[in-house]
Amino acid sequence: MKKALKYALLGLLALLVVAQLFRIDKTNPPADPAQDMMTLLSPPAAVSTILKDACYDCHSNLTKYPWYTNVAPVSWWIKDHIDEGRGHLNYSEWGTYSPKKAAHKMEECVEMTEEGEMPMDSYTWAHPEARLTAEQRSTLVDWFKATHTQLVAIRDAAAPEAAPEAAPANEEGNENHEGEDKN
C-alpha cells in the first residue's frame, strides 16, 4: 500500500512538472484608451478605483497577471476566467458597443453586482483589494443604475423603434388603454 501511494505521488509530481511546459499567453489584446469605458463615461474617482480594483483584471484588455499565473494548472483556470470575462464584458472595448448593447451590458453590471455575483469569490480570495464593502457595492450599483438610465435614453433616441409604442388614439384623440372603462 505504501509503495502504491509513493508511485501515485511520484506520478502526480511528474504530471505537475510536465504541465509547467504548457504556458498561457499573457499578452493583452491592444487597448485603445479612446474606446475605454472610463474615458467615455467618466465615472467619479471612487467608482473608477472600484472598477480598476475589482473588475478590470477580467473585464478589460489591461489584465495584470500575478505570479501564480506562472504555475499550471492554476494558470489555465485563471486564463479561462479572463477569456470568459472579456467575452461577456470588456470595458476596454466599450466604445465599440452599440447603444442597445451598452445599455444591456450596464443592466447586467447592475444585476451581477447587486446580487453579489461580481466580483467572483474565486477572484477576491487572491485579490483582497477587490473585496467590496457594502458601501463600495452600493456606490458601484448606484453609478451603474444611473448610467444605465442614461444609456437607455441614448439607445431609445438612436433607435425610436426600440422605444415603447404609444397607445393608438380613438376618434376623440384620446389614447386607448386596454382594460380601462371607455365611458
Task: Dump the DSSP string for 65-82.
Answer: --GGGGSTTHHHHHHHHH
Q: Which residues pair with 175 in a beta bridge?
A: 169
Helices (H), 20-133: 37-41, 45-54, 74-88, 99-114, 121-124
- Asked if 113 and 142 touch (Cβ cutoff 8 Å), the reply is no
**pLDDT, the chain, mean:** 86
Domain that holds residue 111: 2-161
Any domain includes 101: yes
Q: What tens digit of pLDDT does each residue of 23-56 get?
A: 878 999 999 999 999 999 999 999 999 999 999 9
Any domain includes 27: yes
Any domain includes 179: no
Q: What is the pLDDT of residue 78?
A: 86
Q: What tens digit of pLDDT does each residue of 120-176 get?
A: 888 888 888 889 999 999 999 999 999 999 999 999 998 766 445 444 444 444 444
The one-letter code for the residue type at 127 is H
- The mean pLDDT of 85-114, rounded to a whole number, is 96
- The mean pLDDT of 66-87, rounded to a whole number, is 89
Any domain includes 175: no
Residue from 52, 58, 55, 37 nearest 148 by CA: 37
Residue 29: HSE in the Cβ half-sphere, 13 Å Cα cutoff: 14
Pairwise pLDDT comparison (66 vs 162), residue with the higher score: 66
Any domain includes 85: yes
Cis peptide, bond prior to residue 119, ω within 30 of zero:
yes
Distance separating alpha carbons of residues 63 and 150, to the nearest angstrom: 28
Question: How many domains does the chain divide into?
Answer: 1
Q: Which residues contact 162 (CB under 8 A, 6 or more apart)?
A: 100, 155, 156
Q: What is the pLDDT of residue 176?
A: 45
- Asked if 169 and 176 touch (Cβ cutoff 8 Å), the reply is yes
Any domain includes 178: no
Distance separating alpha carbons of residues 158 and 160, to the nearest angstrom: 6
pLDDT at 63 over 50: yes
Any domain includes 69: yes
Any domain includes 170: no
Q: What is the pLDDT of residue 160?
A: 65
Pairwise pLDDT comparison (183 vs 50), residue with the higher score: 50
